[in-house]
Amino acid sequence: MIEDKPMPDEMPINDAAVESATVAESIVESPAVLKADQSIQLLVELVKNVNHLLCEFYQDYQQNQVLQISNKADKSPVTEADMAAHHLIEQGLKKINPLIPVLSEESSDYKLRFDWHEFWLVDPLDGTREFINQTGEFTVNIALIHHGVVQLAIIGIPTLKRIYLTRKNQPLYRIDEAGDSLLWQEIQPKPVNLSSWQIAISRRSEWKVYQQFKQVLHDRQQTFDCKNAGSAYKFCLMLEGEIDVYPRFHPTSEWDTAAGQGLLEAIGGGVYDLQGRPFAYNQRHDLLNGHFMAVRQNDFLPSALQVAQETLKALT
């Protein structure tokens, strides 16, 4: 059991950040206010720099320069680009607030997290396989977690020079590079059409469970189209209304979903277990997620959960 310790009302930050408030505690009422928050400016600049760093590695790799690739204990690949992004993010977040710890996929030790009630949850390069396979569908995922709940979420898409950002209970923004400037645009939820679903299927869609999921949709006479995409790039397509429902039946970790969950919640959706409960973070001894259903609008959730449950029942 993780001991629940009270958080201080205020956590001091260094000179580079806003005084007398953590990133999660600021109240945002408009894009102008959000952009004026110096800690947000630093965070956006950090993700922009990581986007650029990863693009440099990616472009070199596309031009047949050697990319150092190794395998972790779980046999998943890690590259020198993953590690470079990890170090840059870790350093940047410590400059924003040295008192908020960082839990990254590439961290060397996860054990200290059991004493943390506020921390950054990071995947410095989500979609390493997509990077290696040169699909362009890889992202930078950062979420600020407070007592298990996503308070701030940001995802960068290096190949598009794009960033998505939100705070809890605040609007969602898309930030695009335009020369030396950043263009901020609030994203409004797209209309919902429950009669026809756009579904995200990973590139492991040949797995039997995903074939069964589609069969259940056919049996229920639910019209749908499938879109293959990798990494948290799928969450970004959901933010743009291109995907409605994203079922996931093979393993992910908490750093894969936290930022995407925070962004989806800003437009009325979320990431849920198959009992319909929103994901919570750093609440278990295992950092692996179970099966989940992500929806861009919660109107899709009841039917999507029924389909998932019928899918798993048919395979038992």
Question: What is the Cα–Cα distance from 153 to 267, expressed in whole angstroms?
Answer: 13
Residue ranges of the annotated binding site for Mg(2+) are 105, 123, 125-126, 256
Distance CA 277, CA 265 (A): 13
- 234, 243 Cβ separation under 8 angstroms: yes
What residues pair up with 295 in beta bridges, in sequence order?
245, 270
Rounded Cα distance, 305 and 295, in Å: 10
- Conformation bin of residue 230: beta by default, left when phi > 0, alpha when psi is -120 to 50: beta
Residues ≥6 apart with Cβ < 8 Å to 117: 4, 5, 7, 146, 147
Residue 209 contacts residue 105 (beta carbons within 8 Å): no
- What residues form the annotated binding site for substrate? 105, 125-128, 256
Q: In terms of C-beta distances under 8 Å and separation of at least 24 residues, what long-range contacts does 107-113 make, across chains too? A: 110/287, 113/282
Sheet strands side by side (includes 118-126): 102-104, 118-126, 139-146, 149-157, 162-167, 172-178, 181-187
End-to-end CA distance of the chain: 32
What is the DSSP-derived secondary structure letter of residue 191?
P
Neighbouring residues of 265: CB distance < 8 A, sequence distance ≥ 6: 150, 166, 168, 278
Positions at the binding site: 105, 123, 125-128, 256
How far apart are the C-alpha atoms of 213 and 287, rounded to whole Å? Answer: 26
User: 207 φ, ψ to 5°?
Assistant: -60, 145
